[in-house]
Structure 1
């Protein structure tokens, strides 16, 4: 995905680490989306034994997954260590089944075919290499395992993007991946039966600064690498805030739009190839299957 900017992952780790103490109280949108994502498990005849909450934050959803799947081993994973410290407090008396691991979605510290369910709420938008991340998720899922994710679509923070565009030509808001691209990446990674849908959610504020304060409090400020980019001056910030006022609604509030993309998909049978980002294919077969497969001369190549 060459058209997507490169994120500074150390900056992401620091910002979310600093936001760990306030995150649970301030991340109202993230909590709403998490609830909608969990609802997609309703009605499924699916009892995982190993569950990963990837990008777990302070552990609220890891706790919910532990309560939903009482017999499963739940693993809360996050890039920021302070988030994992907060997640420990969420574990409560169920902490023996609520493990915590520091890990990066781009280099998962998990064994191949070791996980039944990967749940990831509003984390993938911080990746600039979605195909590689999805290949990695496919690698660690067991055949028949479920991937359940949410991420932001391109309409997200459109008002903020427009307000900044009225001030300068710099890119102040991260770019987000559209639902079609997410679906294409799932298919290329070899996932089966992908189901995708999109919500548009609006949060409101009395002043545009309220949105900026909320983003800063949860660590969700811009983290793209831009060589040569300078600091935002007070004058430009004032200009942006003034431009944002053009979006004020008749009820006196200013809106922020969030396009949320939800996706679920299943890991396919053993041996189904993963299409790498370099154009090749990687197939895997369980060790125990070697030696038991009957050779069919007509199907050999």
Structure 2
């Protein structure tokens, strides 16, 4: 028989999913198999049976106030000072004195980090995720017991249900970075049931990973565990643009009732352009860029989304 705490938690989740309204339908008997709610009104019928527990419709699994809970950051120990970079680039044989203040005041940079020869975006990501899970364990950041059907709190290495990785510098043309990070979960908890994969795109890869993880936590497919979005990269640069090199990784924890919940509107603009690219087989790891054209692309993207808000799509 379910414990009083389980009954109370299930009742609270059900009431929350119904917006505070009483459920007009009778509850299912123990062990019964009944038709689950299908709010979309299409796509076939869905049947559920949750052991000997009272039936909880799928839609009641949706989380509330999901967003960013914790962010772990990793960056290499080696760096160059951007004030010194400005002084170097201010030499007459490079860009001249007009560059003074461009990197520090104009772009807001203090340092540019770069890795040692035994680091790459995967090692960055693994370090950030490992530190994040260690922090969860040390600080007691674990509320899975509030959302598990049996009220059981999972261990940190079993408490992750989705892992998305965003980058613009893949290391393999088939094997995902996410699969490398999974070595940690297998090693510490023999865990392999974690959704997600890489999001590969310049600048937008990390953002896309975060939105995918957030959407999973907000969906009715969420299973009560945390989601992690990783953004990791080593930014190569042409010798003429060394001020724009860098290296770092973040691991962001997503969950309901987050200190930074996500309620704002969002829009995307994805177009076929060549202002920034890294062709396969190119002789240099640095990207091919067109800075002025990139600015035009950003302005065009903003104008497109603004136009759609003022003039909705035609039916």
Question: Smaller-chain TM-score range?
Answer: under 0.3
Report which of the two structures shows the higher radius of gyration computed on alpha carbons.
2
TM-score by length of 2: 0.27
